[in-house]
A = this chain, B = another copy of it.
Amino acid sequence: MSDSASVLARDWLQRFEAALATGDARAALPLFNAECYWRDLVSFTWNLRTEEGHDAIAAMLAARLADVRPSHFQLEGEASTAEGVTEAWFTFETAQARGRGLVRLKDGGAWTLLTSMTELKGFEEKKGPRRIMGAEHGVHKGRETWAEKRQHEQATLGYTEQPEVVIIGGGQGGIGLGARLRRLGVPTIIIEKNPRAGDSWRNRYKSLCLHDPVWYDHLPYMPFPDDWPVFCPKDKIGDWLEMYTKVMELNYWSSTVAEKAHWDEQAQRWDVRVMRDGQAVTLRPRQLVFALGVSGYAQVPKITGAETFEGQQHHSSKHPGGDAWRGKKVVVLGANNSAHDICADLWENGADVTMVQRSSTHIAPSASLMELALGGLYSEQALANGVSTDKADLIFASVPYKIMHTFHIPVYEEMKKRDADLYARLEKAGFMLDFGEDGSGLFMKYLRRGSGYYIDVGASELVANGSIKLKSRVGIERINPRSVTLTDGSELPADLLVYATGYGSMNNWLADLVSPEVADRVGKCWGLGSNTTKDPGPWEGELRNMWKPTPVQNLWIHGGNLHQSRHYSQFLALQLKARMEGLPTPVYKPAPSHHLR
């Protein structure tokens, strides 16, 4: 089977290469099916784009083929066929770069095609066979040691030498991107307000563990050791991040607050004012990256009477853990991930806790999610099948957003059956369930709106059996000194009120740090334009403004979960490196901004 699959794939690649070599943008079209998608990560478009259908593909090729000059398409390993679809990995080259791709053939024609840039020619990472010697053979007068070089760099970068890139935000996103830029020799400073790398994890509520399994969560270059728990506790990941910044030799400015940034048109550089350990420093990078998470500021609804509350009230992001609340009455407003985790933790610590659910939530039991949704790509089984993290990331990336929901709907159909008992008991307890507007479940919700779900690691059982009390189909009408009044008129006594009410849009950071005008020019970040709740159209087919050129010159947005940060930091780093080296980087069809913040 794989033999004939490889023959088919090799033939397709050969014809594809020949068609592209003609220089005629429409020559390759007969190799694509009527329904077809070509997703490119930087290698053809200097953009993250999905061309949908023949005309879009032809337009892209017409604009880009002369520059890109693609060649050397080579099947990588053996192709395979399942259910009528032949999948084939391949490598290729362009005038500027080397790349890797994945094509899915149906009836001999391409259905989906992924092309991604791996490395820029002449600017390859110095790894593996390219690694440096370290000890120079032959001995040179006056050379600096590694330690002296590092000390020199730390003393000068940001002061007498200016970085090419400043990354605002030193969480997992900024750190992973920083590591990639370091390897590419792009001088970078990462700005982090907390004293230690990893603090953004350490500062969260005590019981927090990653909701995604370990195979999905690696940082670039350095996998977690193979005895790491499936769901990593927050402090352990915090310590890992701290270690990683050191091992990767990042210029990580902790205890540093970014105060203001503006683009100096004349110098073609940013002017970034930061306070480092209480001292003002102005950085002058060419590129500015915001890596402040998927979300903006913590969002706390304005509720009448909040100022009269005599107990404690705080947003979920400030919740330290349940220890202090034994025997106390707690109301948690919200019913997504943090709300569930915090309710469970409070219950464990002996609090009397009520969850207030205003709108429906998608519950995805963790074991089912791992088996049904992630298992093929991110699991021990996947590793045993030769699906490395790199490969898994590319497979994930190869599914066009336009049809991604069709891949996911059957998974959640199966989940509904498998976990029918839990779902029935939750509904009986009054819990409002959903599976996304089109039944496509967790990941599509995450991509479209970044919220609306709980990956169940146990709290749903507590909701179902009443250990965590539930008030659903209501909100909080009014806050009283020792209680809250719900919209149905009922009253809940409360010593503590936790707002698990999510976060604002991530470009609120831009409004404050740069200007509201710049934030509005960048426009909405995240979301695909699916025209579902919180993801207004028009359809864009990629995550808005993420990891690719934004409408504002030299300003970039990095973020996402550990998986996305790991994978997309590769393409963002290559874009930044190419610009530093002065390579031509014509961006094909930069996405317009359709929405303000």
Q: What is the interface of chain A, defined by CB distance below 8 A to chain B? A: 125-129, 131-143, 145-148, 150, 183, 206-207, 209-210, 214, 221-222, 225-233, 235-236, 239-240, 243, 246-248, 344, 347-350, 366-367, 380, 457-459, 461-462
Contacts and interface: CB of A to CB of B under 8 A. Distances in A.
Contact of A457 (B137, B230, B457): B137
A230 B134 contact: yes
Contacts of A221: 225-227
Given A137-B457, A240-B247, A228 B131 contact: yes
How many copies of this protein are present in the complex?
2
Contacts of A229: 131-135
Given A138-B461, A145-B206, A133 B231 contact: yes
A140 to B, nearest CB: 7
A139 B344 contact: yes
A225 B246 CA distance: 13
Contacts of A132: 229-230
Contacts of A222: 225
Given A131-B214, A131-B229, A147-B206, 11 more contacts: A128-B380, A131-B226, A134-B228, A136-B457, A138-B458, A139-B347, A139-B459, A147-B233, A147-B236, A225-B247, A239-B246
Given A133-B230, A134-B231, A233-B146, A348 B225 contact: no
A348 B137 contact: no
A248 to B, nearest CB: 8
A540 B413 CA distance: 67
Nearest to A248: B225
A226 B135 contact: no
B147 A231 contact: no
Contacts of A127: 225-227
Contacts of A461: 138-139
Nearest to A236: B146
A275 to B, nearest CB: 28
A233 B459 contact: no
By DSSP majority rule, is chain A's interface helix, strand, loop, or mixed? loop
Contacts of A131: 214, 226-230
8 nearest CB pairs, A to B = A134-B229, A146-B233, A135-B231, A135-B209, A147-B235, A134-B231, A139-B458, A127-B227
A322 to B, nearest CB: 11
Contacts of A129: 380
A222 B125 CA distance: 21
B344 A146 contact: no
Contacts of A243: 243, 246-247
A457 B235 contact: no
A240 B239 CA distance: 14
Contacts of A239: 246-247
A126 B228 CA distance: 9
Contacts of A233: 134-135, 145-147
Contacts of A125: 227
Contacts of A350: 141
Contacts of A135: 209-210, 229-231, 233, 366, 457-458
Contacts of A380: 128-129
15 contacts: A127-B225, A132-B229, A135-B209, A135-B230, A135-B231, A135-B233, A137-B366, A137-B367, A138-B461, A139-B348, A139-B462, A141-B348, A145-B233, A146-B235, A225-B248
A176 B236 CA distance: 20
Contacts of A366: 135, 137
Contacts of A140: 348
A582 to B, nearest CB: 24
Contacts of A128: 226, 380
B232 A134 contact: yes
Contact of A136 (B150, B210, B458): B458
A459 B136 CA distance: 11
A250 to B, nearest CB: 13
A461 B126 CA distance: 28
A367 B243 CA distance: 32
A229 B127 CA distance: 9
Nearest to A379: B129
A431 to B, nearest CB: 16
Nearest to A138: B458
Contacts of A150: 235
A71 to B, nearest CB: 24
Contacts of A459: 139
A15 B133 CA distance: 48
A194 to B, nearest CB: 16
A235 B134 contact: no
Contacts of A183: 227
Contacts of A240: 247
Nearest to A229: B134
